[in-house]
A = this chain, B = another copy of it.
């Protein structure tokens, strides 16, 4: 049951199914790991987005993540309550807030980097270094051809089915 390529019933072993299965597994394992830093995957994703592109308005981040503003507010509330993120009033337009990481937030981002490396290594344990590189290249090509935004996980939009 390894090389059945043209059988109609190959769906359970096809690339599409394996991607869905492994993707859910990777997301669940990542959730386990960031839970040790008291973060949900959504919080971790937002922290990284702020680290990469700081100082934007809440609406901008929300639009990039594809999440509605109402959900975004409570996300920021929680991170601000833990002193990881800071709201600064916009200078020309005082309705908006610009988001920045605090010192604690940047420290936590450092820990998240280590967590991400460990996650990556654990997930790719079955592959050699050159295989990982080849795999990453193919996945990136698929992602680009499918029109996915780099660095944005669709989990912000809808739950899995």
Give me the interface of A with B, judged by CB distance under 8 Å.
Answer: 2-3, 5, 8-9, 11-28, 30-31, 40-42, 48, 112-114, 116-117, 119-120, 123-127, 131-136, 138-146, 148, 150-155, 158-161
Is the Cβ of B16 less than 8 Å from the Cβ of A26? yes
Is the beta-carbon distance between B19 and A139 smaller than 8 angstroms?
yes
Contact of A28 among B114, B138, B151, B154 (CB under 8 A): B154
A34 to chain B, nearest CB (A): 9
A-B contact pairs, 5 of them (CB 8 A): A17-B26, A22-B146, A40-B161, A135-B138, A155-B161
- Which of B24, B138, B142, B151 contacts A154 (CB under 8 A)? B24
Interface of A, helix, strand, loop or mixed by DSSP: helix
Partner of A127, one of B21, B40, B116, B138: B138
**Which residue of the partner chain B has the closest CB to A123?**
B16
* B135, A135: Cβ atoms closer than 8 Å: yes
A16 to B29, CA, bound (A): 10
B residues near A132, Cβ cutoff 8 Å: 15
A140-B19 contact in complex given A135-B135, A155-B161, A161-B40, C-beta closer than 8 Å: no
Instruction: Name which residue of chain B comes closest to A42, CB basis.
Output: B161
Most-contacted residue by chain B among A11, A112, A127 (CB, 10 A):
A11
Q: Whole-angstrom distance from the CB of A29 to the nearest CB of chain B?
A: 8
Is the beta-carbon distance between B146 and A27 smaller than 8 angstroms? no
